[in-house]
Amino acid sequence: MESGFVEFNLEFLTQIAQQLMQAEVDKFKTQVQITHDYYHAVEEKLIPDAPPATAVEICFPEGEEPPAIENLPEGADSTKIESYIFPRLDRLLAMAIKQQVVLDVTQVQAATDPKKGGAKKDAKKGSTPAEEEKVTEESIYVKEMREAIKTEKSIFRYRLCQVRNWALSQLKDMRQCSLDLYKMLEDWIFVAQKTEMDAIEEMCMIIKDSIEEENKIQSELRINFMDFTVDQGVLNYITPPPPKHAALEEQTTSRFTIP
C-alpha cells in the first residue's frame, strides 16, 4: 500500500484514456475538414485554406494542477467502490467535448467572398431564374454539409462517452480488486498471528509440564514462524563444567596465591 502500486496503475489507465480521447479529437477535426473539402469540390468552388492548427491537444493549462485521479469524500466508506469518484477523467471528457465546436465555413466564405455576398443580395432584390436556381442548389449542398457535420458531432460525442465509460469501468475494477486484496491481507495477517501464538502457546505448555514434573527436556524444541515441532532425533545435554586443576603451590596465609 505504501509503494503506491495501485495509484500508479490508476494514473496509467487515465493517461491511456486521455490518449484515446486525443485520437478521437484529431479524427473529428480531420473528418470535418474532409467534409468541407468534399462539398467545396462538389460545388466546384475554391477550397479554402485549412486552419493553421486543426488539432487541439487535450491537456491542462500550464501552471494549473490537474485534478486528483480518484477522490474519496470525507466521511465516505473507503471499503466500498461506490464511494470513490474520478474527477480527472470527468474533466478530460469535458475538455474533449468542447472541441466539437467548429468554424462555420459558409459564414466565413460569405464574409470573405464578395461574389457570394453579392449574389445573395441580388437574389433578394430580384434576379434571373438561372441565378435563383444556382442559389437554391447551393443552399441544398450547404444544408447537406451541415447535416453531415452534425452527424459527425454526434458520433464524436458517442465515442468519447464510450472511451470514458471504458476507462471508468477499468478504474473501478482495479480499485475494487485492491480493496478485495486489502481485505484478504487483513484476514491473512489475523490468521498468521493467531497460528503463531498457538505454536508459541503449545511450546510453553510442554515447558510448563516439564517444570511441574521436574523432568529434563532433552528433545530439541523447534519453532519456525507458525510451525512447532519436537525433534526427538536430537538430544540436548548440559555441558559439564571443566575440572579444576590442582594447585601448583601450597596455600599459606602469609602470601597471596593464585587459585
234-243 core/surface letters (b: 16 or more CB in 10 A; e: else): eeeeeeeeee
Note the pTM of the prediction, 2 decimals.
Answer: 0.63
Instruction: Copy the grid coordinates of residue 139.
Output: 443552399
Question: Poorest-confidence range of 12-16, 160-164, 210-214, 235-239?
Answer: 235-239
> Mean of the per-residue pLDDT values for the chain?
82
- Runs of H (alpha helix) within 43-86: none
**Rounded Cα distance, 224 and 233, in Å:** 17
pLDDT band at 123; cut points 50, 70, 90? very low
Sign (positive or negative) of CA dihedral 131, 45, 24, 64: negative
Instruction: Copy the grid coordinates of residue 163.
Output: 472511451
User: What integer pLDDT is reported at residue 14 of this predicted model?
Assistant: 95
pLDDT tens digits for range 4-32: 899 999 999 999 999 999 999 999 999 99
**Rounded Cα distance, 85 and 70, in Å:** 6
pLDDT tens digits for range 124-165: 445 555 555 544 445 588 888 889 999 999 999 999 999 999
Locate the domains of the chain by residue range: 5-190
DSSP reduced 3-state for 223: strand
Q: Quick check: 121 pLDDT over 50?
A: no
